[in-house]
């Protein structure tokens, strides 16, 4: 087996969308992809939010894919070391391109509109999971669900 493609998902605080996306890609595409996440607006090292973890657990995503998570800011090193950077929104892409123009060719915008659902109710997390999984299967050609 060859080297896995390294994918970095980027959202704002790195506690909901991007760690959920990384956990989903790790679960369903872990044989081909190595997924991680970071944020554009991270101030402290925080775990994945409780409702995001509960949602992932409820659909059977392996806990090792998200329990060790701690939020972290995007860095030049992360941008350089990853093959694909997935910005969760066009706004995140714009920030990344402004801060790291040399990596613009690696940056993609997530194909589904997954708005910021932090501090929402559990239903918002569950709906976000469905959109994240659908988008990841499309973006990374993971086949039928």
On average, the pLDDT of the chain sits at 93
What's the rounded mean pLDDT across residues 70-76? 97
Neighbours of 84 (CB within 10 A): 16
Instruction: Give CATH for domain 5-139.
Output: 3.40.50.2300
How deeply is 98 buried, as exposed, middle or buried, from its count of CB atoms within 10 A (0-12, 13-18, 19+)? exposed
Q: 2 pLDDT band (50/70/90 cuts)? A: confident
Q: What is the DSSP string of 5-24?
A: EEEEEEESSSSSHHHHHHHH
Domain positions in the chain: 5-139
Per-residue DSSP letter, 109: E
Determine the Cα–Cα distance for residues 83 and 45; give it in Å rounded to an integer.
24
The answer to whether 18 and 10 are in contact (CB under 8 A) is: yes
Sign, Cα dihedral of 127, 135, 82, 1 = positive
Residue 1 is predicted with a pLDDT of 55
Examine the pLDDT at 137 and tell me if it is beyond 80.
yes
What's the rounded mean pLDDT across residues 115-130? 82
Quick: pLDDT tens for 5-51.
999 999 999 999 999 999 999 999 989 999 999 999 998 899 999 99
Q: 65 pLDDT band (50/70/90 cuts)? A: confident
The predicted model scores a pTM of 0.94
Residue 4 is predicted with a pLDDT of 96
What's the rounded mean pLDDT across residues 98-123? 87
Q: Which of 109, 135, 121 lies closest to 52, judged by CA?
A: 121
């Amino acid at each position: 087996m060859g080297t896995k493609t390294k994918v970095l998902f980027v959202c704002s605080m790195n506690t909901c969308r991007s760690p959920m996306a990384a956990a989903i890609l790790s679960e369903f595409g872990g044989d081909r992809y190595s997924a991680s996440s970071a944020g554009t607006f991270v101030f402290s090292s925080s775990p994945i939010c409780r409702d995001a973890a509960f949602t992932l657990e409820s659909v059977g995503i392996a806990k090792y894919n998200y329990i060790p998570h701690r939020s972290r800011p995007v860095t030049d090193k992360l941008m350089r070391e990853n093959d694909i950077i997935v910005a969760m929104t066009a706004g995140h892409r714009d920030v990344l391109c402004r801060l790291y123009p040399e990596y613009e060719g690696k940056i993609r915008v997530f194909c589904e509109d997954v708005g910021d659902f932090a501090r929402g109710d559990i239903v918002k997390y569950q709906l976000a999971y469905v959109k994240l999984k659908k988008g990841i299967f499309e973006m990374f050609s993971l086949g039928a669900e």
